[in-house]
Structure 1
Amino acid sequence: MKIALLQMTSGIDPDVNAATLETAIADAAGQGAAMLFTPEMSGLLDSNGARAATQVTDEVHDRVLARVRAAAAREGVWVHLGSLAVEGDEGDPRWANRAFVIDADGEIAARYDKVHLFDVDLPTGESWRESSRYVPGQDTALVNTPVGKLGLSICYDMRFPALFQALSGAGATILSVPAAFTVPTGQAHWHTLLRARAIENACWLVAAAQTGTHEDGRSTYGHSLVVDPWGKVVLDMETTAGLAVCEIDPAAVDDVRSRVPVIAHRRAIPVPA
C-alpha cells in the first residue's frame, strides 16, 4: 500500500501554501497513494503574531482547509493535514494547533488539537512559548483510514510516550507525527524519538516535517520519516522540500506484535511512595 509525504517550507501566505498542498494532493493521487501526510502548520508558518493574526480564522472560513478538502474530493485521496492554526473556543484569544484527517470525499473524518505545547529555552538562544499563542488540546484522536487505524499527534507530543501508548492500546496500527522541528533539537533527538515511538507501540509511524529557512526567519530540520513497526527507517526525505511516495505493509504490525507482544505485556506501574 502506498502513502505519500509532503515535506514543506511553509511561508506567511496561506494561499501560496494552499497551492503547494493542492499540487501535492494531485501528485500523490497520480502516483497511486491512498493517503497524503503533510506537516504541522501546513497552512501558515509565521512567528510574527500580529501578522499571523490577520490570517487565522475559524474552520468554517479557513481557505486552506477548504481548498484541501476540495482537492481531496477531486482526486479521491485521503489527506492528513498535519495542522493549521485556527481560532479556538469563544472567549479564549489563543488559537488551536489543529490536525485534520480528510477522507476521499473531502469530509473531515477526525480532528486533533496539540496536547503538549513547546515552551522551551534552547542552548542556541532560541526561546519558544507556544502556550502564549495556543490553547492545549484535551483529547486524543483515533480514526480508521485506508492505511490502518491512525493515531494522531503533533510535533512536541513525540516526547510523551504515554500519549502513544494510549493510542496503540486503543487499537492504533499507524501513528502520525506532523512537525515543524527546530534544527538543534532535530539533530539531537528526531530520529531517536520517532524510532522509539514506533518500536514501543509496534506501529508504523509517519512524520511529515517542515524543512529549510522560512519567510519568518526560522529554520526547521526536515527529515520527514516513515518508520516500520520494528523501528527500521524506510523513508528519510533529508532536507529537500517536495513529495515522496512510500510502500507500507499493514500486515507488518501483526507480525511484529506476534514476535514481541509489547501491548499485551503492558502493566500498570504503581507510583513509588
Structure 2
Amino acid sequence: MTKVAAIQMVSTPVVTENIETARRLIDEAAGKGADLVLLPEYWPSIGHSDAERLQHAEVYGNGPIQDFMAETARKNGIWLIGGTLSLVSREPGKVKNSCLVYNDKGENAARYDKIHLFGFSTARESYDESLAICGGDEVVTFDAPFGKVGLSVCYDLRFPELYRAFGECALIVVPAAFTYTTGKVHWEILLRARAIENQAYVLAAAQGGRHRTGRRTWGHTMLIDPWGEIKAVLPEEEGVIVGELDFDRLASVREKLPALKHRKL
C-alpha cells in the first residue's frame, strides 16, 4: 500500500503566509507517513484581484514558490503535487494556472496547465478565469513509484472526456478552489463519478473556508476509492487528510466489473 495526503487551506493574499502554512501542513502529512502529498489550487495566494495573479507569477523553473516546493519535497522525501501557482505566459496580462509535480529528490517531474477555465455568474457572485488566465492544451499524466497519476484542476472535474484521455490510472488528483455555491451541490457527486467511471482512486485537495478577501470556498478535501466510497474527508478549515491506496482493492474492482475493458468509444 501507499499512503497519500491532501492538504486543505484557506489561503490569504500574502504568499509568505501561505508558504509557512503549507510548510507546516506538509510536514504534518509527511510525519503521518504520506508518500505523496497534494496541495490545493491557488495555495500560494487568493487575492483581491486578477492583478495580484500577475504580481505573483513566476517564470517556469525559477522563483521562491517553486524553490519552496522542490526543497520541501526533497527534505521530506515525498512526491509533492503543488496544487496550482501562477506562471508567466506568452500572452500579455495573463498567466498560466499550473500544477507542478516534484519527486522525492526535489526534481520537477511534471507540469500541467489547467485546460478548462471557470466561468460562473449569479446576481450575487461572478467569476471569469479567462480574463486573467490562459488555458492549457495538453493532457498530462506522470509515473509515480506506485503507478500512473492523472493531473486535473478544479473546473476540469466537469469534463469527463479529460479523465478518459488519461488512460488507466492508479490515482487521479484534483486540486481545487470550488466556490461554496457550486461545491455544496456538485463537488462530491462529480468526484465520486470520476472515481467510479475510471475505476481509480481520486485525491482532491481544496480551499475550504472564509478567506480574508471575503470569498468562501467549499472545502471537503477527500480521498475516494475506485468503488466510489469516501475514505477520508475534511469538511472545512485548514488541515490534512491521509489515506491508503490499496492496490488489491483497485485490482479487485477492475476484475469484478471490467468496465474499462468494455469501452466501445
Q: Same fold (TM over 0.5)?
A: yes
Alpha-carbon offset, residue 106 of structure 1 = 0.5
Question: Per the alignment, in what secondary structure is the counterpart of residue 97 of structure 1?
Answer: strand
The residue that corresponds to 1:30 in the other structure is 31
Question: Per the alignment, in what secondary structure is the counterpart of residue 61 of structure 2?
Answer: helix
The residue that corresponds to 2:95 in the other structure is 95
Alpha-carbon offset, residue 130 of structure 1 = 0.4
Mean Cα displacement is larger for which, 198-207 or 241-250?
Answer: 241-250
Q: Distance in 1 between matches of 2:52 and 2:148?
A: 37
Question: Per the alignment, in what secondary structure is the counterpart of residue 54 of structure 1?
Answer: helix
Gaps of 5+ in 2: none
The residue that corresponds to 2:229 in the other structure is 232
The residue that corresponds to 1:155 in the other structure is 154
Give me the CA root mean square deviation.
1.4
Q: Distance in 2 between matches of 1:34 and 1:153?
A: 20
Alpha-carbon offset, residue 45 of structure 1 = 1.2
Q: Distance in 2 between matches of 1:259 and 1:240?
A: 38
C-alpha contact 1:15 1:64 (8 A) present in aligned 2: no
Q: Distance in 2 between matches of 1:215 and 1:190?
A: 23
Matches within 5 A, 1:195-210: 195-210=192-207
Alpha-carbon offset, residue 120 of structure 1 = 1.9
Q: Distance in 2 between matches of 1:92 and 1:251?
A: 49
2:128 is aligned with 1:129: yes
Question: Per the alignment, in what secondary structure is the counterpart of residue 59 of structure 1?
Answer: coil
Matches within 5 A, 1:176-215: 176-215=173-212
TM-score with structure 2 setting the length: 0.95
Identity %: 37
Q: Distance in 1 between matches of 2:160 and 2:258?
A: 17
TM-score with structure 1 setting the length: 0.93
Q: Distance in 2 between matches of 1:137 and 1:35?
A: 24
Q: Choose from 149, 172, 176 the match for 1:175.
A: 172
Q: Distance in 1 between matches of 2:63 and 2:215?
A: 24
* Amino acid in structure 2 at the alignment position of 1:211: G
Aligned residues: 264
Alpha-carbon offset, residue 57 of structure 1 = 2.5
Q: Distance in 2 between matches of 1:177 and 1:75?
A: 22
Q: Distance in 1 between matches of 2:97 and 2:52?
A: 17
C-alpha contact 2:5 2:36 (8 A) present in aligned 1: yes
C-alpha contact 1:114 1:136 (8 A) present in aligned 2: yes
Q: Distance in 2 between matches of 1:186 and 1:127?
A: 15
2:18 is aligned with 1:21: no
Alpha-carbon offset, residue 225 of structure 1 = 1.0
The residue that corresponds to 1:7 in the other structure is 8
Q: Distance in 1 between matches of 2:39 and 2:248?
A: 24
**Cα deviation 1:7-56 (Å, max 9, x = unaligned):** 00111111111112222222222211101111011111124123443222
Q: Distance in 2 between matches of 1:174 and 1:155?
A: 16
Gaps of 5+ in 1: 269-273
C-alpha contact 1:25 1:77 (8 A) present in aligned 2: no
* Amino acid in structure 2 at the alignment position of 1:187: K
The residue that corresponds to 1:119 in the other structure is 119
Mean Cα displacement is larger for which, 57-66 or 80-89?
Answer: 57-66
Question: Per the alignment, in what secondary structure is the counterpart of residue 205 of structure 1?
Answer: strand
Q: Distance in 2 between matches of 1:86 and 1:220?
A: 23
